[in-house]
Amino acid sequence: MNEQTSPVLSVRGLGKVLGGRQILEDISFDLELGAVTVLIGPSGGGKSTLLQCLNYLLAPDTGTILLEGTPINAKNPRELSLLRQQVGMIFQDFNLFDHLSAEENVAIALRKVKGYTQ
C-alpha cells in the first residue's frame, strides 16, 4: 500500500515580470521528496527565472511557495536565510568559482553553511 506524503516543495500561481515582460505566469507544481525532476525548455523560456524565484534570488511577483508545507515569508530575512540553508542552487556560469571543480563548487556551500567536512 502506498503511503500518502506531502510534497517537500509546492508552488502555486507563481508569476514574475521582468523588464515589462511576463516571464512566469501562473506556474504551479509539487515536488516529492527524493524525486528526480528535469526542467526543459527553450532558451529564454523562464527556466532560470523559475529556479531563482524558488530560492528567492528573485522575488516572485505573484504566487506562493511552500517548503515542507510552510509558506515562505520573503519579507522576513531570518526565514529567507533558513530557506537558503535548506535549498541550494548552482547555476552554470552564475557566480561559480573558476578555480574550483564542479564538485567543489557544490560542496563549498555545505562546508561553509552546514559545517560538513566532506
Grid coordinates representing 48? 532560470
Task: Encode pLDDT of 64-83 as tens digits.
Answer: 999 889 898 778 888 888 77
Chain centroid, CA 100 distance in Å: 23
Q: Which CATH superfamily is domain 1-71 in?
A: P-loop containing nucleotide triphosphate hydrolases (3.40.50.300)
Instruction: Please say whether the beta carbons of 56 and 72 come within 8 A.
Output: yes
pLDDT of residue 14: 98
Higher pLDDT, 13 or 102: 13
- The three cell numbers of residue 64 are 506562493
pTM for the structure as a whole:
0.74
Amino acid at 31: L
pLDDT at 78: 85
90, pLDDT greater than 70:
no
pLDDT level of residue 115 (50, 70, 90 thresholds): confident
- Mean pLDDT for the chain overall: 85
Cell of residue 63, nine digits: 504566487
pLDDT in tens, 34-54: 888 999 999 989 998 999 899
Q: What is the DSSP letter of 52?
A: H
How does residue 1 score in pLDDT terms, banded at 50, 70 and 90? very low
Q: CA-to-CA distance for 35 and 37, rounded, in angstroms?
A: 6
Maximum Cα–Cα distance across the chain? 49
